[in-house]
Amino acid sequence: MDLSRHDLASRDDDSDYGLLKQFSEVYTRADLAVGHNAIRFDKGVIRSRLIKHKLPDIYPVVVDDTYISALPIAFTSHRLDYISQYLNLGQKTNHPYKLWVDVMRGSKKALEDTIAYCKQDVILLERVYNALLPYIKTNLNRAVFAENNQLCPGCGQATLVKDSIRMTANLGKRRRWRCKNCGRSVTTGINLLQNVKEYPR
């Protein structure tokens, strides 16, 4: 971000133009984006800035949002800092509002502190996402990146073992699998290890 182009008294500015261009280039190469409240907030804010600068819209990348995924789980709070502390994964770096003001005024020290704050957020997000992954539905089937169908759709590892049988009204008998790597439970009408149908037509 070019702080020299920021006018604190102005309603808006264009100091994030270069940052947005770089972000868009990286984002469009991703198979999956992970964020906390990214769908309801971050993605919308980014798109509003792209429109402001008349830049191309971001590519429709699959998103796993830990905030939305965690809502059905009865955490006392669904804030990233609370969940990470609740799961003993660490905590956010203290960042008072004054630091944002100091950054806008051109303080390099405040900018360095803000960068450290953002880096810690990314670290916590990765830890929380990995901890929640066995218990939430991911929007990316990682098994599609392999040439065989023996992989867990959650983590992409060939670590599925038979767990139990599930009877359904529409599909009949279905095999339930458990991933030894990530712990995810997978229920399917196809035997993922042998590619044999487990239910009668």
**Could you tell me the residue range of the domain that residue 148 belongs to?**
142-197
The domain that holds 192 is classified in CATH as: 2.20.25
Mean pLDDT of the chain: 83
Residues 9 and 104 in one domain: yes
**Total structural domains within the chain:** 2
Which pLDDT belongs to residue 73?
Answer: 96
Residues 186 and 119 in one domain: no
Residues 118 and 182 in one domain: no
> In the listed set 119, 135, 151, which residue is the last one of a domain according to the structure?
135
User: How do residues 63-78 score in pLDDT, each as one tens digit?
Assistant: 999 999 999 999 999 9
Residues 130 and 185 in one domain: no
Which residues fall within 8 angstroms of residue 101, CB to CB, at 6 or more apart? Answer: none
Give the model's confidence band at 179: pLDDT under 50 very low, under 70 low, under 90 confident, else very high: confident
Q: Write the burial class of residue 158 (CB in 10 Å: 0-12 exposed, 13-18 middle, 19+ buried).
A: middle
> In the listed set 94, 113, 135, which residue is the last one of a domain according to the structure?
135
Residues 112 and 158 in one domain: no
Give the model's confidence band at 35: pLDDT under 50 very low, under 70 low, under 90 confident, else very high: very high
Residues 12 and 92 in one domain: yes
- Return d(Cα 33, Cα 28) in angstroms, integer: 10
**Are 20 and 53 spatial neighbours (Cβ–Cβ below 8 Å)?**
yes
Average pLDDT over residues 185-190: 70
| DSSP characters over 38-85 | IIIIIHHHHHHHHHHTTPPPPP--EEEEHHHHHTTS--S--SHHHHHH
Residues 127 and 165 in one domain: no
User: How do residues 140-171 score in pLDDT, each as one tens digit?
Assistant: 887 777 666 677 877 777 788 888 777 666 55
**Are 181 and 157 spatial neighbours (Cβ–Cβ below 8 Å)?**
yes
Residues 66 and 127 in one domain: yes
The domain that holds 61 is classified in CATH as: 3.30.420.10
Side-chain-side CA neighbours of 106 within 13 Å: the count stands at 5
Residues 15 and 92 in one domain: yes
Residues 19 and 83 in one domain: yes
Which pLDDT belongs to residue 200?
Answer: 34
- Return d(Cα 194, Cα 116) in angstroms, integer: 48
Q: Write the burial class of residue 150 (CB in 10 Å: 0-12 exposed, 13-18 middle, 19+ buried).
A: middle
Residues 7 and 96 in one domain: yes
